């Protein structure tokens, strides 16, 4: 629990100084912290190879989720390893609510953060916090590792530093090692404390006497780092942007929700150490910052509300802010100038010399196994079970989609879902939305062989259309979710998809008055992220096409399709055998089949795609052997871990396929003609075992033309929905 400090207590401390031994925030010994100043200790020893690797990584934007910023974005060497701003910038789509502290001399820190929530004896954990936090660098640790593994220069540096390949933990250690080299040397105060009588000017010496005497600064600013590492409430006024700027208020609320702060929704000021202890007496307290290099690190305080050292001294001279418990110092103007002289002159040392990389090392094509890897050894014929053909007859699509009992459809919910579907704020850096990969102008897919994915990454599968997805019981190529309500968050939060985080997305919605109004109307409550997914699902259930030429034909209109298409239908349901899997009204049995679809060559040419392969393999829990040997999409195996399921994918619907090229889970075929040729040849030949339903069809060119004519009857006119005008952020009271 913090101490309320009076001037009498400050003066009393100087009577009997003791050896510097900072206590942790809340320690009983805090009240006896020493007023004695001390020189900065020798620079800590670090693994030089690790520090060199860390230097490169510190400036590399690939340590952020969307490769837009680096550690140096908020800790700029040209700005004393801070950022010169009252409140820090943050990950794109976010803004911070605190000042960005300098990294100079953090090797000696007892605590890294203003609220004292992370100890300085664990720098790697601090780096992990900065890299993975949604509002800072927002990078999945495993994606980071796979990025490093695709940079040959980094692979060599990791081996030199740690004797092994890149890993997330080693990356943290390397960056931490580098930050520990950011030590300033030879500050005039240090030389003075070591006996150099000429180290300080006369004014600075008078300022030092005030610092340790009348002004009482050293009761809290003591030891080699000039801090007692204790939390204190100084009554600093809140920066108006913390509430006045919606992006900063969003971050304030989201972060304090993560900390479990009671009533976090109603925060109007930074609670500080209270977020850690939940003790009301700790509200508004912040750990005493170091004064090392203080002349270089303006503006000051946890929220940057004090612009200059002259203003800082004036602030304390009047007894700090309301509720601080500090008494006015009554320093004369000349004394204030001397104190500022000491702070500016005495605590400024020589900066470390750091070579700023002109550029980061480039990705290379690091082999991750051959296509298919050793799947031939895994896919033994005895693992394949003969597959039964579907017996469900072809049928017209129902005129309305099934509606789950726990998410009834209303017009207001659909309208809300439409807005959310196009809103990029439901994603990590507020740049991608559902519509980014399921674009109405691109057949509600993406139009590329493999989806673009989140900025800084690429996806690994073809982006399927959402048209008629309301009828699916199994979604995604491997059937990993069973409802549209589950599909939406899976996509929005996936590391190579939306890279969003629930609390941050939810708080964004709550800073948009129009959404607050609409959620209350639809769900009877303020925005909750689970309700956002329900609204999006409700909208997607309206994107159906039940009146294709095929549907009209099946309902009795024999003129709805031409003679060629009728012959194609006979082939589809007969000689070609398509309806063995493409059955029912959806034209999908929703089962899983191994077709031997050829590998898409783009995976051999793009390092980002290889990064995604390995990330997905690891994330889905494959064996170490498969992780290292194959870049083949293992399909249903990821869910079942059964070898006979390797390479099996859910049968897609053939509806709307006139517009949804390219085709297959990896976009290997760009036209329906290519798809027909593939099946006519009996499917893929690269794998030893494919579906027992596949066999050469022996279709003539005319028959293939008829089959194509039928497939085109499964699509009506394109469904186009214009993007709505999205409601803006506003300050919410």
- pLDDT for residue 370 is more than 60: no
Task: Cite the beta strand spans of 1-149 per DSSP E.
Answer: none
| Contact between residue 379 and residue 632 where contact means Cβ atoms under 8 Å apart | no
- Residue-averaged pLDDT of the chain: 91
DSSP structure class, residue 17 = -
Buried b (16+ CB within 10 A) or exposed e, 548-569: bbbbbbbeeeeebbeebbbbbb
Which residue shows structure tokens 């509600």?
A: 444
- State the first-to-last Cα distance of the chain, in angstroms, to the nearest integer: 30
What was the pLDDT predicted at 17?
Answer: 31
Backbone φ/ψ region at 535: left (φ over 0), alpha (ψ -120 to 50), beta: alpha
* Dihedral sign for Cα atoms in the order 477, 478, 481, 486: negative
| Contact between residue 673 and residue 662 where contact means Cβ atoms under 8 Å apart | no
- pLDDT for residue 115 is more than 70: yes
What was the pLDDT predicted at 624?
Answer: 87
DSSP structure class, residue 233 = -
Would you tell me the crossing angle of helices 411-422 and 529-540 to the nearest 10 degrees? 100
The residue among 691, 666, 663, 686 whose CA lies nearest residue 676 is: 663
DSSP structure class, residue 391 = -
Buried b (16+ CB within 10 A) or exposed e, 683-721: bbebbbbbbebbeebebeeebbebbbbbbbbbbbeebee
Buried b (16+ CB within 10 A) or exposed e, 652-662: bbbbbbbbbbb
Listed in sequence order, the DSSP H helices in 358-410 are 375-378
| Contact between residue 73 and residue 275 where contact means Cβ atoms under 8 Å apart | no
**Quick count: other Cβ atoms within 10 Å of Cβ 435?**
19
What is the band of 33 on the pLDDT scale with cuts at 50, 70, 90? very low
Size of the chain in residues: 733
What is the band of 684 on the pLDDT scale with cuts at 50, 70, 90? confident
Q: Please state, in angstroms and rounded to a whole number, the distance separating the CA atoms of residues 26 and 32.
A: 13
CA angle 412, 416, 418 (to 5 degrees): 115
Percentage, residues of the chain above pLDDT 70: 92
What is the band of 603 on the pLDDT scale with cuts at 50, 70, 90? confident
Span 374-401, pLDDT tens digits:
565 666 555 555 788 999 999 999 999 9
Would you tell me the crossing angle of helices 513-523 and 502-510 to the nearest 10 degrees? 100
What was the pLDDT predicted at 605?
Answer: 82
The count of C-alpha atoms lying within 13 angstroms of the C-alpha of 723, restricted to the half-sphere facing its C-beta, is 15
**Bridge partners of 37?**
223
Instruction: Give the mean model confidence (pLDDT) for residues 395-419.
Output: 97
| Contact between residue 713 and residue 551 where contact means Cβ atoms under 8 Å apart | no
Instruction: Give the mean model confidence (pLDDT) for residues 684-710.
Output: 89
pTM, entire model: 0.91
Instruction: Give the mean model confidence (pLDDT) for residues 174-195.
Output: 97
How is 505-552 classified by DSSP, letter by letter?
A: HHHHHHT-HHHHHHHHHHHSSS--HHHHHHHHHHHHTT------HHHH
Q: Please state, in angstroms and rounded to a whole number, the distance separating the CA atoms of residues 396 and 550.
A: 7
CA distances 412 to 160, 409, 417, 512, 519, Å, are 60, 9, 9, 17, 9
What was the pLDDT predicted at 21?
Answer: 33
Contacts of 338 (CB under 8 A, 6+ apart): 203, 204, 206, 207, 210
Which residue shows structure tokens 């055998």?
A: 577
Domains and CATH numbers, the chain: 7-17+187-235+284-346 (1.10.760.10), 48-179 (1.10.760.10), 375-393+548-712 (1.10.760.10), 411-540 (1.10.760.10)
- pLDDT for residue 30 is more than 80: no
Q: Which residue has the higher pLDDT, 14 or 716?
A: 716
Instruction: Give the mean model confidence (pLDDT) for residues 118-132.
Output: 89
Which run of H or of E encompasses 650? strand 649-650
Which residue shows structure tokens 């060199």?
A: 52
Span 305-337, pLDDT tens digits:
999 999 999 999 999 999 999 999 999 999 999
| Contact between residue 393 and residue 583 where contact means Cβ atoms under 8 Å apart | yes
Q: Is 733 helix (H, G, I), strand (E, B) or coil?
A: coil
- pLDDT for residue 20 is more than 50: no
- The region of weakest confidence among 96-110, 233-247, 310-324, 354-368 is 354-368
| Contact between residue 34 and residue 223 where contact means Cβ atoms under 8 Å apart | yes
- The region of weakest confidence among 413-422, 641-650, 704-713 is 641-650
Instruction: Give the mean model confidence (pLDDT) for residues 419-447.
Output: 97
Span 658-671, pLDDT tens digits:
999 999 999 999 99
Contacts of 228 (CB under 8 A, 6+ apart): 22, 23, 30, 33, 219, 220, 221, 222, 288
Tokens of 263: 């009533």
The residue among 295, 335, 294 whose CA lies nearest residue 317 is: 335
- pLDDT for residue 1 is more than 90: no
What was the pLDDT predicted at 239?
Answer: 97
Q: Please state, in angstroms and rounded to a whole number, the distance separating the CA atoms of residues 348 and 346.
A: 6
Q: Please state, in angstroms and rounded to a whole number, the distance separating the CA atoms of residues 312 and 320.
A: 9
């Amino acid at each position: 629990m913090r101490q309320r400090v009076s001037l009498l207590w400050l003066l009393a401390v100087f009577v009997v100084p003791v050896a510097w031994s900072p206590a942790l925030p809340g320690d009983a010994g805090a009240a006896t912290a020493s007023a004695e100043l001390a020189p900065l200790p020798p620079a800590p020893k670090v693994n030089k190879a690790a520090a060199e690797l860390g230097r490169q990584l510190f400036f590399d934007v690939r340590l952020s989720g969307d490769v837009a910023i680096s550690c140096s974005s908020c800790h700029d060497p040209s700005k004393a390893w801070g950022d010169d701003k009252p409140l820090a910038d943050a990950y794109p789509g976010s803004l911070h609510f605190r000042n960005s502290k300098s990294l100079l001399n953090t090797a000696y820190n007892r605590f890294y953060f203003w609220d004292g929530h992370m100890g300085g004896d664990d720098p790697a954990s601090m780096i992990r916090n900065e890299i993975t936090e949604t509002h800072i660098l927002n990078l999945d640790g495993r994606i980071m590792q796979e990025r490093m593994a695709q940079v040959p220069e980094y692979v060599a540096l990791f081996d030199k530093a740690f004797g092994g390949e890149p890993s997330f933990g080693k990356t943290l250690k390397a960056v931490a090692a580098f930050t520990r080299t950011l030590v300033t040397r030879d500050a005039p105060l240090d030389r003075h404390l070591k006996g150099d009588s000429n180290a300080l000017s006369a004014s600075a010496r008078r300022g030092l006497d005030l610092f340790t005497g009348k002004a009482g600064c050293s009761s809290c600013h003591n030891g080699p780092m000039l801090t007692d590492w204790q939390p204190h409430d100084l009554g600093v006024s809140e920066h108006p942007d913390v509430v006045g700027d919606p992006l900063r208020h969003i971050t304030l609320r989201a972060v304090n929700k993560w900390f479990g702060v009671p009533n976090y929704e109603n925060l109007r000021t930074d609670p500080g150490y209270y977020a850690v202890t939940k003790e009301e007496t700790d509200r508004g307290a912040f750990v005493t910052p170091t004064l090392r290099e203080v002349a270089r690190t303006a503006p000051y305080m946890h929220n940057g509300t004090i612009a200059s050292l002259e203003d800082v001294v004036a602030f304390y001279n009047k007894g700090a802010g309301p509720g601080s418990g500090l008494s006015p110092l009554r320093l004369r103007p000349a004394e204030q100038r001397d104190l500022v002289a000491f702070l500016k002159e005495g605590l400024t040392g020589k900066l470390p010399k750091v070579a700023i990389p002109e550029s980061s090392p480039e990705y290379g094509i690091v082999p991750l196994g051959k296509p298919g890897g050793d799947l031939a050894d895994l896919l033994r014929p005895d693992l394949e079970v003969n597959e039964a053909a579907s017996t469900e007859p072809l049928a017209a699509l129902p005129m309305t989609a099934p509606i789950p009992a726990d998410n009834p459809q209303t017009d207001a919910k659909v309208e809300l879902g439409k807005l959310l579907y196009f809103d990029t704020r439901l994603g990590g850096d507020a740049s991608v939305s559902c519509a980014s990969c399921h674009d109405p102008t691109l057949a509600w897919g993406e139009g590329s062989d493999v989806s673009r994915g989140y900025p800084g990454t690429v996806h690994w599968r073809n982006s399927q259309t959402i048209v008629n997805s309301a009828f699916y019981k199994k979604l995604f190529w491997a059937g990993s979710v069973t409802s549209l309500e589950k599909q939406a968050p899976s996509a929005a939060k996936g590391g190579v998809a939306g890279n969003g985080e629930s609390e941050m997305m939810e708080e964004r919605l709550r800073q948009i008055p129009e959404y607050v109004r609409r959620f209350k109307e639809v769900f009877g409550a303020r925005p909750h992220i689970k309700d956002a997914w329900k609204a999006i699902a409700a909208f997607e259930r309206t994107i159906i096409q039940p009146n294709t030429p095929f549907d009209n034909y099946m309902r009795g209109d024999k003129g709805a399709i031409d003679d060629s298409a009728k012959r194609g239908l006979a082939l589809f349901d007969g000689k070609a055998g398509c309806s063995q899997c493409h059955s029912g009204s959806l034209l999908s049995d929703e089962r899983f089949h191994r077709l031997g679809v050829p590998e898409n060559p783009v995976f051999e040419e793009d390092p980002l795609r290889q990064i995604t392969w390995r990330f997905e393999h690891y994330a889905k829990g494959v064996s170490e052997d498969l992780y290292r040997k194959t870049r083949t999409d293992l399909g249903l195996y990821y869910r079942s871990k059964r070898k006979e399921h390797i390479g099996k994918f859910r049968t897609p619907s053939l509806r709307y396929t006139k517009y949804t090229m390219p085709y297959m889970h990896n976009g290997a075929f760009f036209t329906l003609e290519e798809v027909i040729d593939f099946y006519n040849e009996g499917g893929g030949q690269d794998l030893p075992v494919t579906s027992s339903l596949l066999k050469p069809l022996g279709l003539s060119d005319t028959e293939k033309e008829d089959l194509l004519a039928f497939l085109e009857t499964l699509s009506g006119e394109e469904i186009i929905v214009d993007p709505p005008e999205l409601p803006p952020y506003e300050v919410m009271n």
